[in-house]
Structure 1
């Protein structure tokens, strides 16, 4: 599991991004469970994720409507299969509007750059 913390901060909200090999919905659930063993991630407002598997795309917005689709689109562009990416957000008290999607995209880009896919 690769975790990059404090990758983006905006109006009090903080973002982290994590990921790792994953091939199924069951493995995705186990990945999120393992991530949330860290109390900091368990207390996050949102742990949104996307995953491309042989059976098709999987995502979970975790209350951040549309964020999972943003992650999926980026995975598709990179042709990165069987690798989950999770964007975590701790809400800072001010609504970000559409900027939240830009931040999800930015967090995924940071992860992909660190992974060396782009």
Structure 2
């Protein structure tokens, strides 16, 4: 019987800790976002928390709310930068010096002489 009582108290304590983490996430994100946060709850995958902004907008964050995943973009909550956009720009960068100019098509007007 003592085991059952201890188990119940353990689950109650775990629920209180989880609620305080969710409340802390909600408080931290409320300072950063212009939209109201309806609910924060532990997601069913990984260590992510689900942040319900509206009935059609859901975001995900970690325990410390250091980033926010919204619509496929990862946002840094400290710097307010779109990390996904920055990474795509980095991957899309092209070094023009690597173009094989010897294979370029050249258009010449007249005989090509300058004058």
TM-score range, shorter chain: under 0.3
Larger strand proportion, structure 1 or 2?
1
Superposition TM-score, scaled by structure 2 size: 0.25
Superposition TM-score, scaled by structure 1 size: 0.25
- Structure number with greater CO (CA < 8 Å, separation at least 6) is 1
Larger Rg: 2
